[in-house]
Chain A
Amino acid sequence: MTPVNAIEVVGVTKSFVRHSEPAKSLKERVLTLRRNTTTRFNALDDIRFDVPMGSSIGLLGHNGSGKSTLLKCIAGTIRPSSGSVRVRGRIAALLELGAGFHPDLTGRENVFLNGSILGFSRAQIERIFDDIVEFSELGPFVDSQVKHYSSGMYARLGFAVAVNVEPQILLIDEVLAVGDEAFQRKCLDRIDRFQHEGRTLLLVTHSPDLARQICDRVVVLDHGSQVFDGDPGEAAAVYRRSLAQRGEPVPESMDRPVRIAAPEIVDRIYAPGDSLELTAAFESDRMLRGARPRLFVHANDGALAATAEDLGTVDGTSGSIKLTIHDLPFMEGRYHATIALFDDDTELDRSAAHSFDVMTAGRGVGRFRLQVTVG
């Protein structure tokens, strides 16, 4: 069986008319009357790629590369000038959180409004309403008017609706920057779950790190042209090269001379007392001598739960760091492991977090497993 594509982008070109500085006064208008002040330019030029169902694809590009325009063509808010986009399944776009919220309506009313904008029936929204409220952490505020919300609450409710309506395809456009760190982690977690449910994800970003962390394939756009389609690591290199060639400022996150990939964890679910193996690849622009890895484990609420130092040293320009946590001391919950490399006390780089779950068989509350004997 050939894989079914969730999204097919077939030779999409989008050209805009660029208006020169508009004439300000009547006199100017008369003077420039017959002068042609418009030029056409291609925001997108013959873009073509497929997004198979269940895959996570990144769209990487600098500001003005056309990636947002492409996302709008896929979401259907603008039409391509030529070519076409075929979408199979229900899309939810996180283009801007809380799009369509009405300030005078309550959070509850807006959830139903927003859900129906995404094409869901009342019964479908009622079924997931409690999940949405829980995810948004709004509590009783869900019955106050949205105009009294803080921007964080607004964004949380928007994200909660978009991910909980369980669309088949989720489009994300740089919205992960909202909210505090704990909420961001929750969003990444939700995206992780979304991926494991076999749903399709399209992420638009200018951060190669984020693309590498989330996507299994990346398309790179450069001034409206598609310059690469393939492995996220190579895509990052292509992107970096194209930025450097043009002498454009390279985003800070890529400036780091040392880069650690997100750690891979063999299993996902553990019991207290298990051993857990983590492997994280690293590469460095300069020769490392005696750099020291450190391990951080955060609980799901963002609090630092445990650290480990004195994990030996790392040398060379690339390689992998392999760590094993013995006798896992955690109780039930989700945890996030991060590996960092230090040169003396200077942090060289810190990987993105990888999460794992701990399940306990019996009862037990709290974060750590205490071994207690009587007498």
Chain B
Amino acid sequence: MRRRPLVASTGVRDGETAELTVVENSDRARPIRERMREVWNYRELLSQLVRRELKVKYKNSALGFVWTLFNPLMYLAIFSIVFGLFLRSAVPLYGIFLLSGLLMWNVFSMGTMTATASIVSNGSLIKKVWFPREILPLSSIGAVLVNFCFQFLVLAVGMAVFRHPPDWAMLPLLVPALVVGTLLALALGLLLSALNVYLRDVQHLVELLMLAMFWLTPVVYQYDFVADQVRERFGDGAERLVLLNPMIAVTTTFQRVLYNPTPTGDPATDPFGLLFRPASWYLVNLAIAGVIAVAACWFALWLFGRLEANFGEEL
């Protein structure tokens, strides 16, 4: 028997007593509210994992983080040449148009794809230590968002070079658009990352899903191309159905604000007559997409809570 100090001590320093929360591990999934509080307590891990993801990606490369900027630069250069010179697109400054939608699309697709793989690729960690598992998909999306900020700078510089200002009045719209796009990626990422543990096919399936969604979302082309077709075939108002793809609300908002098309006044000759809509149109779309995103997040969290029970054994 070891000797013990006479004064009973709990091993807790003054002021730390409040941190002594009781955590219960049983066969039941823990309530979402409690898990979200735990994620908040582990926010340092979230930032460390985001940092790790960014650091490791470019470790041992001479140019390091600069590589992140090359991707949008290439898009800007190539698409400007191909669409501007070869294809003579009716869209002026096509490179800017493309990037204004593409960067946000990348947040969604890269975020979803890396988040989907996040649980499986950190299997060794999950088997050994407990922490809120939701942190892993969250950190994937966090890293994508950091990349987005840097790539956004490239676009901003490009817009300055081509003397193409955004619509300053509508600039605040980017905030809800970014939030909705991120929440959508988060919902899909949470859902698919948990499913991927049980069925590794999910990881490959999501790539195909993203490819399909890329071409079903106006990024390379304008929203009106689809909307007009749908309206012609199914009648007036049917084009609203296209907006069931919630990412359309997000990319069109980015295109509207950043590409900021100048109306010529004549709808027949203006390729962007229809994209030039009032702010309310975008707000309503974003609100609908936002409701979808929040509901999807809630469902994903709920399912994640059920599925995480066997992560430790399945990995």
Contact = CB atoms under 8 A, between A and B. Distances in A.
Contacts of B52: 102, 105, 109, 113
A116 B45 contact: yes
Given A93-B128, A104-B59, A118-B129, A198 B5 contact: yes
Nearest to A123: B44
A224 interface: no
A41 interface: no
A105 B56 contact: yes
B131 interface: yes
A86 interface: yes
Contacts of A87: 22-25
A95 B131 CA distance: 14
A214 B27 CA distance: 32
B2 A56 contact: yes
B309 interface: yes
Contact of B44 (A78, A93, A116, A166): A116
A39 to B, nearest CB: 16
Which range holds the interface residue count of chain A? Answer: 35 or more
A119 interface: yes
Contacts of A104: 55-56, 59-60
Interface in B12-34: 12, 19-27
B212 interface: no
Interface stretch (B77-85, B88-96, B119-127): B119-127
Interface string B298-315: 000000000001101100
B1 A216 contact: yes
Interface in B123-166: 124-131
Contact of A85 (B4, B26, B127): B26
Contacts, number: 139
Contacts of A89: 10-12, 19-20
A247 B1 CA distance: 30
A198 B13 CA distance: 11
B312 to A, nearest CB: 4
A117 B2 contact: no
Nearest to A118: B129
A369 interface: no
Determine the main DSSP class of B at the interface with A.
Answer: mixed
Contacts of A78: 310, 312-313
Contacts of B309: 79
A77 B19 CA distance: 21
Given A77-B130, A119-B131, A82 B27 contact: yes
A19 B313 CA distance: 13
Contacts of B129: 75, 77, 93, 95, 99-100, 117-118
A88 B20 contact: yes
B269 interface: no
A320 interface: no
Contact of A77 (B1, B59, B126): B126
B41 interface: yes
Given A100-B129, A104-B59, A121 B12 contact: no
A53 interface: yes
Contacts of B262: none
A99 B11 contact: no
B42 interface: yes
Interface string A43-70: 0000000000110100000000000000
A117 B44 CA distance: 8
Contacts of B47: 116, 122
A287 interface: no
B312 A77 contact: yes
Interface in B91-133: 124-131
B9 interface: yes
Contacts of A99: 124-125, 128-129
Contact of B11 (A16, A109, A118, A200): A200
Nearest to B26: A84
A72 B312 CA distance: 9
B56 A86 contact: no
A248 B189 CA distance: 49
B10 A4 contact: yes
Nearest to B7: A198
A196 interface: yes
A240 interface: no
Nearest to B124: A99
Instruction: Give the interface centre of B22, B129, B313 by most chain A CB atoms within 10 Å.
Output: B129
A122 B9 contact: no
A208 B44 CA distance: 39
Instruction: Give the interface centre of A83, A117, A121, A198 by most chain B CB atoms within 10 Å.
Output: A117
A168 B16 CA distance: 10
A199 interface: yes
A157 interface: no
A143 interface: no
Nearest to B126: A77
B315 to A, nearest CB: 10
Given A75-B130, A82-B27, A90 B19 contact: yes
A125 to B, nearest CB: 8
B63 interface: no
B264 interface: no
A93 B60 CA distance: 32
Nearest to A91: B130
A120 B1 CA distance: 32
B8 interface: yes
Given A73-B25, A86-B22, 11 more contacts: A54-B8, A79-B309, A83-B27, A85-B25, A86-B24, A87-B22, A102-B52, A104-B60, A116-B42, A116-B44, A117-B131
13 contacts: A72-B312, A73-B25, A77-B128, A80-B25, A87-B23, A89-B12, A93-B128, A109-B52, A112-B48, A113-B49, A122-B44, A168-B10, A198-B11
